[in-house]
Amino acid sequence: DVRNLYAALRAAFPADLDRTAIETDTGLHYTWRDLERGSAMIAQELLSRGLQPGERVVAQVDKSVEALMLYLAVLRAGLVYVPLNTAYPDAEVEYFVRDAEPAAVVCVPQRFGRISALAFAAGARFVYTLGADRSGTLLQRAAHRPDQHDPAPVGLDALASIIYTSGTTGRSKGAMLTHGNLLANARVLHGYWGWRPDDVLIHVLPIFHVHGLFVAVHGALLSGSPMLWAAKFDPTTVLRWLPRATVFMGVPTLYSRLLAEPELTAQRCASMRLFISGSAPLLIDTFTQWQQRTGHTILERYGMSETIMLTSNPYRPDPRFGHQDERRGGTVGFPLPGVEVRIADAHDQPLPVGEVGGVQVRGPSVFAGYWRMPDKTRAEFTADGWFRTGDVGLFDTRGYLTLVGRSKDLIISGGYNVYPAEVEGAINELPGVAESAVIGVPHPDFGEVGVALVVPRAGAPLDPEAILAALRQRLANYKIPKRCAIVAELPRNTMGKVQKNVLRQQWRDTFI
């Protein structure tokens, strides 16, 4: 009976702890023993300072294997890990530190002055530094600590981590995830994606979000599989590693950047078993180009900070869905085993197959609520315990879920619902279009109308009027954006998500 996620991960380490667990792009080799000992020493350091179970440790540090050890140390010590996006400036860090009220904060050495001041002001008792090159006080202090530590038997209901959401639709919220949430999801993915001990994962995602920290890291650790580890995504490094690897995880922008490399070939991907995409919608174009270039079909999955992974395209025949094994581009696949997903109307009533509505979920990985936002938590759960994801989608008759947008991005134009994803899909199919975003802006007659921002393919001449004319051939009149503009790029956050709130702000005064 497992009472600490770390203990479960540790139990899956290979028998030979001197094998390489992580190889970095900077030429470092860490063994499984290094992970075990390093995280034990950091846990001992934190506990020696009197940190108590349930207290938070905020970390805003560059990606490194030591940063991963810090995460594992916090788990095994029974503390709560709160990673922050490294791009946040001081003012944002201040907001999160005040919100999380951590006992300890770990920051990069260069920012110690400012971050320690704001952390102490917010009540933190310790501020450590950790540099990407193993510099800083955290490791200096931990070096004097014992290298053994028994994971705290906190129980599966204990908080393991607070993940701040990406802030795509507004201010980030802290999602409280328990040891049990994380372990349940890691185990489900282990089975569903067919993880094997001889897998080798290319890890190039940041480790301050669900995708890089939980889906990728837990996947590899729980299968005792080594990782090839780069602090930042660089297509050249990935191309160099592909012949030695079996699994790759990326956000859609990573796939399009790899496609821009002529050296991406089927031969280079010969040892690969699985390419996984998520965090943002994967364009059909990327999906098919990837198939043509590499012979591999990207497996797209869907999840969020509040729930970890919810749905996945099949890796192999899924007996629950008539043994289908087709990974369908444009869909996010089937509910994972143990996860219930339903489409509901505005009154939380389940809708039939084929109808568009709010995606609601239930299952062992659904979070314990928003940190210190009980009202918000209550508002996002239905009376019968389903979590409202805020995403809008539909099931097809074969059981695949397709997302059509977020409820906050829904455009209500003259009383009609317009799903931006449908309009974007139509625009993206036009020649010369690389991608697009459709947003709703205020309009005196219609309440709201759509504005389409379109990014051309390199060198392709695009005419906004021609785009609108083409759309009129394909879509009902109320779905046609009232304005179309050609833009060089779309604003994205670090997870590759288009920031529609930024666009709405920019185009707000178009008609008023």
Note whether 172 binds ligand ATP by CB under 6 A. yes
Check residue 113 and report its DSSP letter. H
Give the range of 44-52, 81-89, 127-135, 160-168 binding ligand ATP by CB under 6 A. 160-168
Least Cβ distance, residue 345 to ligand ATP (angstroms): 19
**One of 53, 109, 131, 167 touching ligand ATP (CB under 6 A):** 167
SS3 51: coil
Note whether 136 binds ligand ATP by CB under 6 A. no
- Exposure string (b/e) for 20-31, b if CB count within 10 Å is 16 or more? ebbbbbeeeebb
In the complex with Mg ion, the residue whose CB is nearer, 379 or 485, is: 379
Least Cβ distance, residue 151 to ligand ATP (angstroms): 27
Q: Listing from the earlier edge strand, what are the strands of the sheet with 401-406?
A: 340-344, 357-362, 387-395, 401-406
Q: Out of Mg ion, ligand ATP, none, which partner does residue 313 contact, by CB within 5 to 8 A per kind?
A: none
**One of 44, 85, 165, 172 touching Mg ion (CB under 5 A):** 165
Residues near ligand ATP (CB under 6 A), total: 25
Range 344-353, long-range pairs (CB < 8 A, 24+ positions)? 344/382, 344/386, 348/382, 348/383, 348/384, 348/386, 353/394, 353/395, 353/396, 353/397
| 36 token code pair | 């075990």
Give the number of residues written for the chain.
Answer: 512
Least Cβ distance, residue 390 to Mg ion (angstroms): 6
Note whether 497 binds ligand ATP by CB under 6 A. yes
Give the range of 163-171, 290-298, 327-335, 412-420 binding Mg ion by CB under 5 A. 163-171
**Given the DSSP bridges, would you call strands 80-83 and 56-60 parallel, antiparallel or unpaired?**
parallel
Measured CA to CA, the distance from residue 106 to residue 124 in angstroms comes to 11
Taking residue 470's Cβ as centre, other Cβ atoms within 10 Å add up to 17
Note whether 406 binds ligand ATP by CB under 6 A. yes
Q: Listing from the earlier edge strand, what are the strands of the sheet with 433-443?
A: 433-443, 447-456, 483-486
Measured CA to CA, the distance from residue 183 to residue 241 in angstroms comes to 29
**One of 389, 402, 413, 436 touching ligand ATP (CB under 6 A):** 389
Note whether 14 binds ligand ATP by CB under 6 A. no
What's the maximum distance between 2 C-alpha atoms anywhere in the chain?
Answer: 71
Note whether 166 binds ligand ATP by CB under 6 A. yes
Contacts of 123 (CB under 8 A, 6+ apart): 101
Note whether 286 binds ligand ATP by CB under 6 A. no
Give the range of 161-169, 198-206, 267-275, 391-399 binding Mg ion by CB under 5 A. 161-169
Give the range of 101-109, 228-236, 298-306, 367-375 binding ligand ATP by CB under 6 A. 298-306
In the complex with ligand ATP, the residue whose CB is nearer, 258 or 404, is: 404
Dihedral sign, Cα of residue 341, residue 343, residue 328, residue 220? negative
Note whether 280 binds ligand ATP by CB under 6 A. yes
In whole angstroms, how far apart are CA 437 and each of 304, 402, 405, 406, 490? 21, 18, 11, 13, 8
Least Cβ distance, residue 165 to ligand ATP (angstroms): 3
Q: Out of ligand ATP, Mg ion, none, which partner does residue 436 contact, by CB within 5 to 8 A per kind?
A: none
Q: Out of ligand ATP, Mg ion, none, which partner does residue 66 contact, by CB within 5 to 8 A per kind?
A: none
**Given the DSSP bridges, would you call strands 308-312 and 274-277 parallel, antiparallel or unpaired?**
unpaired
**One of 42, 73, 227, 332 touching ligand ATP (CB under 6 A):** 332
In the complex with Mg ion, the residue whose CB is nearer, 37 or 408, is: 408
Note whether 366 binds ligand ATP by CB under 6 A. no
Q: Out of ligand ATP, Mg ion, none, which partner does residue 302 contact, by CB within 5 to 8 A per kind?
A: ligand ATP
Taking residue 458's Cβ as centre, other Cβ atoms within 10 Å add up to 7
- Exposure string (b/e) for 61-99, b if CB count within 10 Å is 16 or more? bbbbbbbbbbbbbbbbbbbbbbbbbbebeeebbbbbbeb
Q: Out of ligand ATP, Mg ion, none, which partner does residue 155 contact, by CB within 5 to 8 A per kind?
A: none
Note whether 278 binds ligand ATP by CB under 6 A. yes
Q: Out of ligand ATP, Mg ion, none, which partner does residue 405 contact, by CB within 5 to 8 A per kind?
A: none
**Helices within 29-77 (DSSP H only):** 32-48, 65-77
In the complex with ligand ATP, the residue whose CB is nearer, 124 or 332, is: 332
In the complex with ligand ATP, the residue whose CB is nearer, 34 or 424, is: 424
Dihedral sign, Cα of residue 384, residue 389, residue 395, residue 399? negative
Q: Out of ligand ATP, Mg ion, none, which partner does residue 331 contact, by CB within 5 to 8 A per kind?
A: none
- What radius of gyration, in Å, describes the C-alpha atoms of the chain? 23
Least Cβ distance, residue 304 to Mg ion (angstroms): 5
Give the range of 150-158, 218-226, 278-286, 437-445 binding ligand ATP by CB under 6 A. 278-286
**One of 279, 294, 324, 365 touching ligand ATP (CB under 6 A):** 279
For ligand ATP, the binding residues (CB under 6 A) are 165-170, 172, 209, 278-281, 300, 302-305, 332, 389-391, 403, 406, 495, 497
For Mg ion, the binding residues (CB under 5 A) are 165
